[in-house]
Amino acid sequence: MDRKQLMQELRDGKLQGAYLFEGVEENIKAATLNAVRKALLPEGLEELNESLLDNPPTDALIAAAETMPFMADKRLVTVREHPALTGRAEADERLCEYIPQSPDCSVIIFLCRGKADARKKLYKAIQKKGGVVSFNPLSDAELTDWIRRTFQKLGKECSAATASLLSFTVGTDTALLRTEIEKLAALAGDRAQVTDEHVRAVATRSVECTVFEMVDAVVAGQEGRAFGLLRDMLITGSDRIGILAMLLRQYRLLQHVKIMQYEKRSPQQIKQGLGIAPFAAERCIRQAQGYSGGEVRQAVEICLNTEYRIKSGQLNQEGALEGAMLQLFALRRSRK
């Protein structure tokens, strides 16, 4: 089940039994739990109709679920980080047998940070009843829509293109995006529209975005700018192996562009084939224009060889990434 199906059940008044909220999108997960609380718990009677449990024994969990709601249709039992879903422990048979028999007057939500372990007995018991709700990263279209709706709640508007630029710049984590949206709304002041210029001026760049810009600088032969961006990433705590992996990923994307261009695919087909955000795909296509197919292949080999030599102990991390970048600049200069 995804969050949309859960929300439909909530609107239809069909929410009952046990659910597991899992997945990496913690902000949307928390917002969904809050929506469930507001829908199920009458205002002013929340404390009388909700149990918040941390690693409860089975007896305590069942007792909470069996307690009748007070002046409400449902009682909400929220169980946070149950070890039988994330740790080495297994749920006892009594809890697994209770899940499909829990009363209609209670809704039990197991809340798990990140992904739960699908091999666990408790997971399978909840899954068998269709109660596993996965909170995966939003799709590009969903993320654009979410950004625009979040701006609207703050009294601001932004175009789909600006929303796409923001997600490309900051990343797809909605918790981080919410912070950036609030910052941009404040920057806009009395102006109703948040623009690309606002995003470029103050949005905090993700490592992925910075690597894109670093490749832009390599393509343009801007050695000082490229190494300046690298320095900024290192200062903010990014490690060289991680940056190298993203640099390799970027050149592999350019290699995919070249292959699809050789296959005579249209620009739209290339964007879809890359499987990344439209704004990022457009930048990949522009970057690929600065290389021949053979040069992109060489760039991939430079990154792969550097990664291999670091991991095999032939090179020290310190300086290896910088050496790879110098080779990429030498590759660009060789065509002139």
Q: pLDDT digit string (tens) for 86-125? A: 877 888 899 999 999 999 999 999 999 999 999 999 999 9
Those residues whose C-beta lies under 8 Å from the C-beta of residue 69, and which sit 6 or more positions away, are 49, 75, 105, 106
Q: pLDDT for 171-214, tens place per residue?
A: 889 999 999 999 999 999 999 999 999 999 999 999 889 999 99
d(CA 39, CA 13): 9
Q: How far is CA 179 from the centre of its chain?
A: 15
d(CA 175, CA 172): 9
Determine the topology of domain 207-333 in CATH. Zinc Finger, Delta Prime; domain 3 (1.20.272)
Q: DSSP assignment, residue 55?
A: S
Look at residue 271 and tell me whether its pLDDT is greater than 70: yes
Q: Coil, helix or strand for 51?
A: strand
Give pLDDT, residue 87: 76
Residue type at 35?
A: A
pLDDT, averaged across the chain: 92
Determine the topology of domain 140-202 in CATH. Helicase, Ruva Protein; domain 3 (1.10.8)
Give yes or no for a contact between 208 and 170, defined as CB atoms under 8 angstroms apart. Answer: no
d(CA 320, CA 326): 10
Give pLDDT, residue 160: 93
**Options 3.40.50.300, 3.10.129.10, 3.30.420.10, 3.30.479.20; which CATH number does 3-134 get?**
3.40.50.300
Tokens of 117: 């372990």
Listed by start position, the domains of the chain span: 3-134, 140-202, 207-333
Q: pLDDT for 125-168, tens place per residue?
A: 999 988 999 999 888 889 999 999 999 999 999 999 999 999 99
Domains 3-134 and 207-333 share a fold: no
Cα distances (angstroms) measured from residue 276 to each of 6, 65, 250, 253, 282:
27, 43, 11, 10, 10
Query: Average pLDDT of 24-42?
Result: 93
Give pLDDT, residue 106: 94
d(CA 192, CA 144): 18
Cα distances (angstroms) measured from residue 97 to each of 10, 83, 119, 124, 130:
25, 17, 17, 11, 15
Give yes or no for a contact between 44 and 31, defined as CB atoms under 8 angstroms apart. Answer: no
Give pLDDT, residue 336: 55
